[in-house]
Amino acid sequence: MHFHNAAVILLGSLYFAFASAVQTDEAIIKTDILNVRSGPGLNFERIGKVYRNETYPVLKEQDGWVKIKTPNQTGWAASKYLERSQQYREKEQTASGSAPVDKSMPSDANDLDQKTIVLDAGHGGKDSGAIGAGGTNEKMFTRRTVQELAQILTSLNAEVVLTRKSDHFVSLAARASLSNISNADAFISIHYNSFPQEPNVTGIETYFQNNQDKALARSVQKGIILGTGANDRGISNGDYQVTRQSAIPSILIESGYISNAEKAQLFRTDVYQKKLAAGIARGLNAYFMKTGF
């Protein structure tokens, strides 16, 4: 296998970089679709769009407009359609004050190189998925996580296939079918849980369909927990159509409980989404290495 030095360095340092980040100021989109413009005013060119409940770092504010940073560009959005948040700040450190280094990932092996991964952002369009604290929709969180994960996997020279690229409905059968025709190495379906009857419930769990999927589930779950420090709800056998009808190793990740108000706020941050995506990537890499963590 041909290794790419830059990708290997990224893979080995993902946790260190994301765990030490601090989120200072964010904008949460509070309308279904919002135009992003090249400058602070309606007379500037539209250069992109953002969607309800997505969260982006704030770079600057001017005359009722906010400059935000999206995964693909920076631009300006009207502040009246945004909710500002500075409530969550995170910096994980050891007792000595330095950020913890994740030693679970070998520094000299990128086994994601040239692998094909199908990423499935659960729900979409008319199917909002679970409803969380403050009326948040699962479909927006799943798309956000998949976007972050796709960027990391692509940077590691993996080929990424998305079952949906925007907020539109895709049937479960179509998602599994795409997995089967893509000649892929793994299928990852991203979801979030909700249990409003017990709003304090937290944790991440990963489901597998068959014995061929169990090693993938175990490795990815371990990567996520190492990367996020979330409550470990383990792996379980689960009968889901997208994994049942997929012919390749497939798992479904319940990435946290959006019914927990504190966690739902955390899930909106770039810091956490990057850590979650990095954990999944490390788990995938360990799975393809065969030797695991």
The residue among 282 and 3 whose pLDDT is bigger is: 282
Half-sphere CA count of 30, side-chain side, radius 13 A: 12
The pLDDT-based confidence of 87 (bands split at 50, 70, 90) is: very low
Phi then psi dihedrals of residue 79, to 5 deg: -65, -20
**The dihedral sign for the CA sequence 133, 254, 275, 270:** negative
Residue-range domains of the chain with CATH:
5-18+96-289 (3.40.630.40), 26-85 (2.30.30.40)
pLDDT digits (tens, 9 = 90+) for 102-158: 433 444 468 899 999 999 999 999 999 999 988 889 999 999 999 999 999 999 999
pTM of the predicted model, to two decimals?
0.69
Is 147:71 a contact under the CB 8 Å cutoff?
A: yes
Q: Distance (Å, rounded) from C-alpha 200 to C-alpha 222?
A: 23
The pLDDT of residue 137:
92
Residue 17: name the closest of 284, 233, 282, 287 by CA: 282
The two three-digit tokens of residue 178, written as one number? 């795409």
pLDDT digits (tens, 9 = 90+) for 177-197: 998 999 999 999 999 999 999
The pLDDT-based confidence of 291 (bands split at 50, 70, 90) is: low
The pLDDT of residue 208:
97
The pLDDT of residue 287:
95
Query: In this structure, how many other beta carbons lie within 10 angstroms of the beta carbon of residue 43?
Result: 8
